[in-house]
Structure 1
Amino acid sequence: MSSAAFSARNGFAYGLMGLPLAFVALPLYVLLPHHYATTLGVPLAVLGQILLGARLFDGLIDPLLGRWGDALFARSTRAVLGVAAMAAVLMALGFWGLFFPATRQHVLLWAAALLVLTYTAYSTLGVLHQSWAALLGGDEAQRSRLVGWREGLGLVGVVVASVAPTLLGLPTTVLLLALCLALGWLAWTRAVGPQPQRQAVHRAALWQPFANPAFRRLLAVFLLNGIASAVPATLVLFFVQDRLQAAEALQPLFLATYFACAALSIPLWLRLVPRWGLARTWLVGMGVAVAAFVCASLLGAGDSVAFLTVCAASGMALGTDLALPGALLAGIVQRSDRQTAGLYFGWWNFATKLNLALAAGLALPLLAWLGYTPGAQDAGALHALTAIYCLLPCVLKLAAAGALYLLIIRSKDSL
């Protein structure tokens, strides 16, 4: 593959689709539970189970989408982009329907159905977009640079999606998503594409990636680390509202600081990759995250300025979570059967969704069981919120760091 595939121009053209895709990643998990609980009165425990069920259902079809993606890449990039256009339309419609339900009498059924639609469209786009970059090949630095463009622009989308509902209102946010999807698709059509992949005579088994020990090790680390990151993302607005008792107007500032620092940190982390390698750089990011959430556990009412610092530090750590694991996976795909790149990313996306689903499906009911409800101010409820928001992620991050060191960094056949 020519160097043009890894140029800044092509990185932007390819990566721009990451911006609208980000609307349905973390922002939806941050905004939707708070919106349904406070505006529509949906109980946290019920909402958590709906998010868990919809995400698991959607995740189960990711490997099928991945295998379908492999068949599309075997035909042509034009076929890939055609399916991507249809998925983008469905994603925009589903996002609109989630925040503007047609019925409040059956709002839970409506939410479940629209979550499945939105996530399926999102998954189709995501698998095709990730596979596109992996099939371009490249060394560690080139792969991390291309993934960095995708995730960096994705973080711009996260910031926009986090602050737009407050600053512009939900109707304008939906229109903005539709516009960004259109622009992202148009830019993608002008990006350097991979060569058509020769399609195997027999379709690959759905579980074929798990025969690769390098993939199994990386996926185990990714799962542990992903749950650790998803728990605070799901609970941040509750922590800000009840533990910090911060003004509602500050919520967009906290979210923007978190995601903006993640985006700005990606180029800095990528500069360390040639020196330290992808895995060791990721390990340092995990350490930064643990330090940030330990500090967050010490905060109380009125500590808004200190929490901005926590948001900045944890955002920097998020930069490694977004840019580096995907580059590690692209390396595995490059050294394995490139004809099954979609299958690898299908299972990878399933793991991503499982992380978010477990965070919402376990953390929200656990908080309810411990006596916390939105708006609670008694000491027991606030201690429970602090423990689940701050300390549980630290335990999971440390477990992920240990797994990263033992399974990948010290492994004889390093990724």
Structure 2
Amino acid sequence: MTGAAARFTTADGWRYGLLGLPLAFVALPLYVLLPNHYARAFGVPLAALGVVLLVARLFDAFLDPWLGRVADRLFARTPAAVLRFGWVAAAFLALGFALLFFPPVRGTTALLAWAAFALAWTYLAYSALSIAHQSWGAMLGGDAAQRSRVVAWREGCGLAGVLLASLLPLLAGLAASAAALGVLLALACWAWQSGPRPRTAAGASGADWRTPFARAPFRRLLAVFVLNGIASAVPATLVLFFVQDRLQAPAAMEPLFLGSYFLSAAIAIPLWVAAVPRFGLARAWLAGILLAIAAFAGASQLGAGDTWAFLAICIAAGAALGTDLALPGALLAGVIAAAGDGGRAEGAYFGWWNFATKLNLALAAGLALPLLALAGYTPGSRDPEALDALTLAYCVLPCVLKLAAAALLYLLLIHKETAE
């Protein structure tokens, strides 16, 4: 594939999208399992852990615009330079994962310091690889349907990685998971190297890091993305606490909940992509947000023992997740192309895009966990008031934020597009 808008085949999809699998394999332990693991396995206090996660994620987030600039400069050389950069970042990512989940220290202070160091290392490698890969996909071009297919392959493979990451640590342990990550990263980088290559603009030297914010469509899209992202990041941080303490579900049910959630998203992605030619990217995304609101509203009514009802909630919420994964990135690729920044500024755009994603996760962990601690909640709590606070944080707050995101999406994207 040599042209920016050449046909994107199934073989191209596998070769480009496969790297999404190990990247997501890392993301699930980092953002969902890590807080629970450090709190329960090592007894690290939630409030202190929340502060470390906040600082580490903010450090990571503020590096992303700079990493985007680095990616643009590499693309301005040759795609081969980007691929070499990707191989190095992948090696650092595999090592960082092992450092994070196998700390050689004990004691709360030492563990918190080690977690901060290992998180910074892992986040840096993860972000560098992610931004380069996302920018590459945006440069492949095409119409709205093709852009959604490109993102869908990446995110669909990512969901396979999430499913693997939700099961492998439980079935084979963390050591096997770390080894599997190294193998998967090597295979995915090889596939990426043999896959479709983008065409950069002639003589491109990369855009200024401020370029994306000079584009009003980007500012509008980013506002919706941030608000919706915070709404999704809060329950992602709290889901295991909700399952273990509010539902009091058996430990054996946890992989079923996570697996059904991500499997549902994987199944839903091609359905949402198929709806894009008829309804458009923005309207399909709005439908997904409304479905997520309905799912979390239902979860707010659950209590101890309602495990099968929560399984149904996970399936509905997973279907909604499919839109969050496949459609915003395709909308962003369209914004880049419409602005005339294709082939020279994708790194700048995705640097800020990832900055927003990390900021969402940082705020979710750094604010939700300490606030829950202030409300009296601790892991294993059975106090009714503490569990009510957990329900408010896990279910009600995301509904409020997603309603606001849906309103913004309609007013800033759908209504404006119709008016124009």
Residue 73 of structure 2 corresponds to which residue in structure 1? 71
1:117-144, CA deviations, whole angstroms, 9 ceiling, x for partnerless residues?
1011011111110111111110000000
Shift of 1:414: 8.4
Shift of 1:61: 1.2
- Kindly indicate whether residue 94 of structure 2 is the aligned counterpart of residue 92 of structure 1: yes
Unpaired runs of 5+ residues, structure 1, are none
Residue 9 of structure 1 corresponds to which residue in structure 2? 11
Distance 2:204 2:89 in 1: 26
Distance 2:55 2:153 in 1: 32
Cα contact 2:232–2:398 (8 A) shared by 1: yes
Distance 2:350 2:419 in 1: 20
Distance 1:321 1:414 in 2: 25
Cα contact 2:282–2:409 (8 A) shared by 1: yes
Cα contact 2:249–2:305 (8 A) shared by 1: yes
**Letter of the structure 1 residue corresponding to residue 236 of structure 2:** A
Residue 308 of structure 1 corresponds to which residue in structure 2? 311
Residue 384 of structure 2 corresponds to which residue in structure 1? 379
**Letter of the structure 2 residue corresponding to residue 402 of structure 1:** A
- Kindly indicate whether residue 305 of structure 2 is the aligned counterpart of residue 291 of structure 1: no
Shift of 1:3: 6.8
For this pair of structures, how many residues does the alignment match? 414
Shift of 1:107: 1.1
Residue 110 of structure 1 corresponds to which residue in structure 2? 114
Cα contact 2:4–2:198 (8 A) shared by 1: no
Distance 2:371 2:22 in 1: 32
**Letter of the structure 2 residue corresponding to residue 327 of structure 1:** A
Could you tell me which of 142, 150, 157 is aligned with 2:161? 157
Could you tell me which of 264, 267, 271 is aligned with 1:261? 264
Shift of 1:103: 1.3
Could you tell me which of 369, 389, 395 is aligned with 2:394? 389
Residue 61 of structure 1 corresponds to which residue in structure 2? 63
Shift of 1:45: 1.0
TM-score for both structures, normalised by structure 1: 0.97
- RMSD of aligned C-alpha atoms? 1.4
Q: Secondary structure at the match of 1:204?
A: coil
Distance 2:319 2:29 in 1: 17
**Letter of the structure 1 residue corresponding to residue 261 of structure 2:** Y
Could you tell me which of 405, 412, 415 is aligned with 1:400? 405
Shift of 1:318: 0.4
Distance 2:65 2:385 in 1: 43
1:4-38, CA deviations, whole angstroms, 9 ceiling, x for partnerless residues?
65111101110000000102324421100000000
Could you tell me which of 102, 125, 144 is aligned with 1:140? 144
214-223 vs 20-29, which moves further: 20-29
Shift of 1:204: 3.4
Distance 1:219 1:319 in 2: 18
Change (3 A) 1:3 1:63: closer
Residue 354 of structure 1 corresponds to which residue in structure 2? 359
Residue 83 of structure 2 corresponds to which residue in structure 1? 81
Q: How does 1:178-217 map to 2 (within 5 A)?
A: 178-200=182-204, 204-217=207-220
- Kindly indicate whether residue 247 of structure 2 is the aligned counterpart of residue 244 of structure 1: yes
Residue 181 of structure 2 corresponds to which residue in structure 1? 177
233-242 vs 203-212, which moves further: 203-212
Residue 340 of structure 1 corresponds to which residue in structure 2? 345
Q: Secondary structure at the match of 2:207?
A: coil
**Letter of the structure 1 residue corresponding to residue 298 of structure 2:** C
1:284-320, CA deviations, whole angstroms, 9 ceiling, x for partnerless residues?
0001000001110111111111110000000000000
Distance 1:381 1:279 in 2: 38
Q: Secondary structure at the match of 1:6?
A: coil
Cα contact 1:62–1:347 (8 A) shared by 2: yes
TM-score for both structures, normalised by structure 2: 0.96
Q: Secondary structure at the match of 2:229?
A: helix
Distance 1:263 1:212 in 2: 32
Cα contact 1:24–1:119 (8 A) shared by 2: no
1:89-133, CA deviations, whole angstroms, 9 ceiling, x for partnerless residues?
100111111110021241111110111110110111111101111
Change (3 A) 1:96 1:413: farther
1:145-181, CA deviations, whole angstroms, 9 ceiling, x for partnerless residues?
0100000100110111112111111100111111111
